[in-house]
Structure 1
């Protein structure tokens, strides 16, 4: 495997996991994409080096998502989910996202705009925020509310997060990794998940540390700093469970 592909793997894993809603299914999708690229290496386009490898991986992952009609109840289509994840979570411009999806850039921009308007139609969640910085926690709460969800509670420490999860039974957890003197957000989530099944979005400045594919890791990772739309699509995917490919 080329060094460029190796460097692209964490971001490809983040995209695939968020797309299908789990570490296991997302990493399996990336493995299939890598095998496909080995059998048929992509033609060199206008991109160079690491960018070309990353877009090739995104393209190979996306090619394994079947086109489907809108979901019952007005949910986002697979194409709309891919466009939002590529342009928001992964930060691609419409031209790059269009190249990944084999679409026209204007079409991709229009799909993204329409899908953003319908994000609030997803199921609403009761969100437990795990964040030790009060101002950041308050900002996250406002963003969560703007996405159409309700803040069930805010925990500043590892022990408080576990206790609140037990008492509140949240339907979504939004957790920072580093809780300072209050402990470890990842450890808190691991303890919570031993007692209940709930989707988790991790917020971190170092996403590559959570995207190695070598251990139990989150399906949803948002990189600090992020904009409201990034959180909106991540929460939508988490609450709706991502795509089911078969």
Structure 2
């Protein structure tokens, strides 16, 4: 799929942006499988009609705009995804119905995917003013819905202090900060957190992913946010992936959005590290 006017390799550009569409779709639906179904449907629509990605438009924005056309037409913002099989998903679906329409999408597009409000307006087919209002409404709505105890697994002292400050300011209670896998497992089992915020690579070269998997095995399902400088290594589609992820270096609004989103609508899939 290549245009001839400017030698643009559309296939390569789409491939580069696909991991981020999959991350976004997974965050919206709360699960890797359902998110990927929407991503596949988006690519199929573009293959059938390449003009959905205009030559004069940023590929990522056009890709997300195509996704949103499918997302909106499916009624996914207000309908459940088939049979609800677990307690977390049932709780999330209930909360979803109490959010202002389109506000969660605006929050994710802005804070997680880094789009400006003018781009969000194009993607969602709303005015720029409405895009800003939707974002602010989501921040307010989600912040009021859920608070809880948080375990932070992070080996860099400055980053862990920053994360702790952000999370505390949101009304959550940071129960512990852990720097290694074993430390995280011990503190997590003792504190039984409602949310885990975990770096991938820890101080003693141990794995934050291993720590999280051990805690999920011991404590049961709960929301998890991973932090990594290399998100593309985890967004491969070849193994279970995190539903929520913050890319280093991060902005405060990214942390706020991810924490609100994870507490609101999260699934925890066991992961293996290959990065």
Tell whether the structures are fold-level matches, with TM greater than 0.5.
Answer: yes
The aligned runs of 1:36-115 (5 Å cut-off) are: 36-41=45-50, 42-44=52-54, 46-47=56-57, 51-52=58-59, 54-63=60-69, 64-65=71-72, 66=75, 67-68=77-78, 75-115=98-138
Whether the 8 Å CA contact 2:175–2:191 is kept in 1: the answer is yes
Instruction: Provide the residue aligned with 2:238 in structure 1.
Output: 214
Note the residue ranges of structure 1 that are not aligned, 5 or more in a row: none
Tell me how far 1:74 sits from its aligned partner.
Answer: 8.9
CA contact (8 A) 2:179 2:203 kept: no
Which residue matches 2:260? 236
What is the DSSP-based 3-state SS (H/G/I as helix, E as strand, rest coil) of the residue aligned with 1:229?
helix
Distance 1:58 1:3 in 2: 16
Question: With structure 2 as the length reference, what TM-score do the two structures score?
Answer: 0.79
The Cα RMSD (Å) is 2.3
2:204 alignment partner, SS class: helix
Do residues 4 (structure 1) and 10 (structure 2) align?
Answer: no
State the distance in 1 between where 2:108 and 2:259 align. Answer: 11
Match of 2:194?
171
**Which stretch of structure 1 is more off in the superposition, 24-33 or 122-131?**
24-33
Paired residue for 1:202? 226
For the pair 1:120 / 2:143, whether they are aligned, the reply is yes
In structure 2, the CA distance between the partners of 1:75 and 1:232, relative to structure 1 (3 Å rule), is farther
Given candidates 35, 39, 61, the residue that maps to 1:26 is: 35
Q: What TM-score do you get using the length of structure 1 for normalisation?
A: 0.88
TM-superposition CA deviations, 1:118-149 (whole Å, max 9, x none): 33212112111000112211111111111221
Q: Tell me how far apart the structure 2 counterparts of residues 37 and 172 of structure 1 sit (CA, whole Å).
A: 37
Structure 2: how far apart are the matches of 1:216 and 1:59?
A: 26
Q: Counterparts of 2:18 and 2:109 in 1: how far apart (Å)?
A: 15
Once the two structures are superposed, residues 190-214 of structure 1 have per-residue CA deviations (whole angstroms, 9 ceiling, x without a partner) of 2222332111101111111111111
Q: Secondary structure at the match of 1:194?
A: helix
DSSP-derived class of the 1:225 partner: coil
Structure with larger Rg: 2
Higher relative contact order, chain-length normalized (CA < 8 Å, sep 6+): 1
